[in-house]
Amino acid sequence: MTKKKTTKKAIRKEIYVIAIMFAMVFIAMIVYLSYYVKEGAKDFIYNSYNSRFSAFSDDVTRGSIYTGDGHIIAKTSYDDSKQEIRVYPDERLFSHAVGYVDQGMAGLEAYYSFDLLKSHISLKDQINNNLSGKKSPGDDLYTTFDYETQVAAYEGMGMYDGAVIAIEPSTGKVVAMVSKPDYDPNTIATYWDDINSESNNKSVLLNRATQGAYPPGSTFKIVTTIAYLRANDGNSDFSYNCNGSLKVGDFTIHCSSNKSHGSENLLKAFSNSCNSAFAYMGINLDKDEFSETAEELLFNDTLPTQIEATKASNFSLENSDEKLVGQTSIGQGNTTVSPLHMCMLVSAIANDGELMEPYYADKLVSAEGDIVSQTDEKSYGQIMSDSEVDLLNEYMEAVVMDGTADSVDFGDLKVYGKTGTAEYTTNKSMTHSWFVGYAIDNTGKELAIAVIMEGAGYGSKHAAPLAAKVFNAYFQ
């Protein structure tokens, strides 16, 4: 009797263990499937290698894409044979942002393809459509772009290659994003071979706003200034007597046009964009501390942003002699940056040191007008102290009031900025034109911007006036 009881007890224990194991496996499967449905399914389903992706379009007409102010920038239409085609009414204006669906996918068309081919109209209407052989309308995507601001940025670039990106500092909303050279997404299939030919070295498909890797030139002096302040416990005492150049070993770093700025404090060195002063400053900073500051400001790391296909900026002083440290301190040497990154830095300055993660897809809306989902604003956190922000605001205002950008007409706006002229070849006359900064109107509304115009020359002559046009379009 005792032996039978022991055997039954052992069997019950085994059953109990097996039941627990099956329960754990079941829970694990539920967790995995929940993750797949929420996160992984999208990437798998609209992968261009998935032959089943086209099946989604059999039941749903791809939704449209709009600017934040309701201007349609991508829609589904029909050709003469009643076949669905994707149409981009503004042609090149939003090319790198909106992307395309021919020859694979890119841009918002790619990242939100899964969502644009989902329909959230009533279940009754979906069933009726299915039974009658009609497609249900897909959900529409509303972006954060402002149409007139985008137009100003695009037209202001003219024939220059480069990029413009503008961000609302308090939210992270990308208001405008332009990259040139560009393409017409309506005809990309027709010209695909030409765009990708070996003879075409323009990298037309590259979004220079998020993937460009440029020498930042004097805009990098924002980073060097912060490194100096942190190395000196926030003390801004600095003095330098500029005679137009600084000799470092057998190499000479020149100020613009070899201009002698004379006696300068930190504010004057910044507003004059004095290469000699900042090269001297960088050479006298501890390399490890300088590198640590750069990395705290997001260099050498993936940028915290909801925008896809961004590129990490580069900064390195490893194995650098004084000559290279001096060059790197003024935005040449061993540093490259994307326009998005520079815009994020000045956006944080405008937002009291707090960086909001940039995004450009605001919400998905059903064909019946119901909000399906909405992007939440997300803070990366404080990347600058209050005292650093206060000083940078003072210095960037001086650039516009009586420094390198004092000739630019920003109208009635209060503007804080930094110009940059970045050499990119051994020919020192070949330079990119930079402007980064932000503007505030009399209501307190703000917009941060980064502009680079390839080979255009001085930042004060080209990039800064373009920034003024974008600001005026946005605030008006």
The residues, ordered by sequence, that sit 6+ positions from 97 with a Cβ below 8 Å of its Cβ are: 107, 108, 143, 145, 177, 207, 360
- pLDDT at position 48: 46
* Average model confidence (pLDDT) across the chain: 89
Q: Is residue 415 part of a domain?
A: yes
Angle at 331 between CA 328 and CA 334, to 5 degrees: 40
More confident site: 148 or 306 = 148
- pLDDT at position 52: 47
**Burial bucket for residue 374 (CB in 10 Å: 0-12, 13-18, 19+):** exposed
Q: How do residues 82-115 score in pLDDT, each as one tens digit?
A: 888 999 999 999 999 999 998 889 999 999 999 9
Q: Grade residue 9 by pLDDT with cuts at 50, 70 and 90.
A: low
Q: Is residue 121 part of a domain?
A: no
- pLDDT at position 108: 94
Q: Is residue 295 part of a domain?
A: yes
Q: At what angle do helices 275-283 and 221-231 cross, to 10 degrees?
A: 40
Average pLDDT over residues 371-398: 96
Is the four-CA dihedral 347, 350, 356, 359 of positive or negative sign? negative
Residue 28 has pLDDT above 70, yes or no: no
Which two tokens mark 225?
């200034």
Instruction: Note down the domain range covering 18.
Output: 9-45
Which two tokens mark 365?
């809306």
Residue 236 has pLDDT above 70, yes or no: yes
Q: Which stretch of 72-76, 200-204, 357-361 has the lowest confidence by average pLDDT?
A: 200-204
Residue 306's CATH number? 3.40.710.10
Q: Is residue 93 part of a domain?
A: no
Q: Grade residue 36 by pLDDT with cuts at 50, 70 and 90.
A: very low
Q: Element (H or E) spanning 292, and its range?
A: helix 287-296
First to last CA, the chain: 93
Q: Is residue 151 part of a domain?
A: no
Q: Grade residue 276 by pLDDT with cuts at 50, 70 and 90.
A: very high
Average pLDDT over residues 168-196: 93
Average pLDDT over residues 12-34: 68
Q: How do residues 418-473 score in pLDDT, each as one tens digit?
A: 999 988 876 666 899 999 999 999 999 999 999 999 998 888 899 999 999 999 99
Measured CA to CA in angstroms, residue 195 lies from 5, 73, 132, 179, 189 at distances of 80, 22, 42, 15, 10
DSSP per-residue codes, 161-214: -EEEEEE-TTT-BEEEEEEES---TTSTTTTHHHHTSTT--S-TT--HHHH--B
Q: Is residue 219 part of a domain?
A: yes
DSSP tag of 377? P
The rounded percent of the chain whose pLDDT value lies above 70 is: 89
Average pLDDT over residues 213-236: 95
Q: Is residue 427 part of a domain?
A: yes
Sole residue written with tokens 């008006």 = 476
Q: Grade residue 197 by pLDDT with cuts at 50, 70 and 90.
A: confident
Q: Is residue 56 part of a domain?
A: no
Average pLDDT over residues 5-13: 64
Residue 77 has pLDDT above 80, yes or no: yes
- pLDDT at position 79: 85
Average pLDDT over residues 232-249: 93
What's the domain count of the chain?
2
Average pLDDT over residues 285-304: 95
Q: Grade residue 129 by pLDDT with cuts at 50, 70 and 90.
A: confident
Beta bridge partners of 416: 438
The rounded percent of the chain whose pLDDT value lies above 90 is: 70
- pLDDT at position 56: 63
